[in-house]
A = this chain, B = another copy of it.
């Protein structure tokens, strides 16, 4: 959306298409942030959080509900007592020191590979929705076809840097085999980066084997190509499934998001700073474990973050404390020199309404100003993650493009020239015809396409079209213009063979006959 104005260029077939469809789908490069970050803690307060987290790791301990992890920790020199692991601060510091601060996150199209970490940021769509609101805004269970639709949209929306994985949960395929079809859909419908399923250690292995087919086993061994998320059970528990998936990714040198799942006030103290201290301890314990598995493997400081309504127990989005915690967690991740994942445009609204807009924009601002590297759930999330809204997916992606522009900061390159224009135009004039304006108007001010800024008379004359309808029309137009970034036929065949073999091996009494 208005990508030309952000400094990218249009070439060849892309250019003709852009002209024909009146929108450009060229992916924005990874954001390189130039705005100063919001850092509310001074060095003493960072140390206070660090010391509190280390105290928790040493004295309260973390429960690893997994035999292998317990053995690994014993081997690594931690104090292990039953399922409890007590991590000495020196051991934690030594372990996390080998996590790379930056790396390149490789995409199938090398031009879409992303510099990652430090002042770079990338936008990844939401994942995991058990429902969608579809192209008619109807709420229903998703299918593999719906998932493919979102992968296509993610492929075409300039601010999205990834097709992620199960944006929506495809209910028309047996759960035991679903990860294969999800991964294939991510890989096939987009050549941007993608994520890998971590629903079990074996599923993670399947994803990594498929990555090896696409990228080559040797390339995979030395290049991050897929990110896997491991949720913790706050407070202070990691389970067998997640730890097994973590090991699968770390062993093969692929980045793991170490994500305590925080419902502030329910599974953390009812206070901002202590919640960050607990979350920080949890994240550190898993980050350290990735280095027990493989020293130097990429890993990402993560979390899912909400606060809980003490009236209803419901998770909330866009609240001030979520912003504050994001600011603080960003400081902690940078303190440890570890890249950082957070969640972006979360919303708790049932419809794509003003609540959804407020919540999403509050969080977008916070995560940008907090300096997040991996901005997950950047498009589509609504109803506390219960559905992915097609309309919101489109508008969120444009909001990310706007946030991107803000975070790029101020241009000074045309300053002298534009000041000369002030002299040319003089008091009472206007700038619309001035050469500086004609030369700069396309990149000067972002023109959101999903926002209607016309007069109400014009809006009514055009049919009083709601933002939901505008966004769904855009989604249909994008899908009509979609061109598949073809997989190499040999690779495609190898992937299909792999899936066919694994689907024969994996029991699925309830398997449905599905074409992929």
Residues of A within 8 A of B (CB): 34-36, 38-41, 45, 48, 52, 55-56, 59-63, 84, 139, 233, 235-237, 264-274, 277-278, 307-312, 314-321, 323-324, 327-328, 348-362, 364-366, 369, 383-384, 386, 392, 395, 399, 402-406, 409-412, 414-415, 418-419, 421-423, 425-432, 434, 436-437, 440-442, 444-448, 450-456, 459, 464, 466-468
Contact = CB atoms under 8 A, between A and B. Distances in A.
A24 B316 CA distance: 21
A418 B48 CA distance: 13
A451 B359 contact: yes
Q: Sorted from nearest, which 7 A-B pairs have the closest CB atoms?
A: A357-B357, A274-B418, A361-B361, A320-B406, A236-B427, A270-B444, A269-B418
A62 B447 contact: no
A402 B319 CA distance: 7
Contacts of A447: 309-311, 316, 319
A426 B60 contact: yes
A448 B235 contact: no
Contact of A36 (B39, B236, B271, B362): B39
B319 A265 contact: no
Contacts of A427: 60-63, 84, 235-237
B320 A428 contact: no
A409 B273 CA distance: 10
A350 B463 CA distance: 12
A412 B358 contact: no
Contacts of A429: 235
A421 to B, nearest CB: 5
Contact of A349 (B383, B410, B451): B451
Given A321-B444, A369-B369, A453 B265 contact: no
A34 B445 CA distance: 31
B428 A467 contact: no
A147 B422 CA distance: 40
B403 A348 contact: no
Contacts of A318: 361, 402, 448, 451
A430 B40 contact: no
Contacts of A233: 428
A222 to B, nearest CB: 36
A431 B39 CA distance: 28
Contact of A410 (B324, B353, B358, B450): B324
Contacts of A272: 410-411, 444
A62 B427 CA distance: 6
A442 B310 contact: yes
Contacts of A357: 353-361
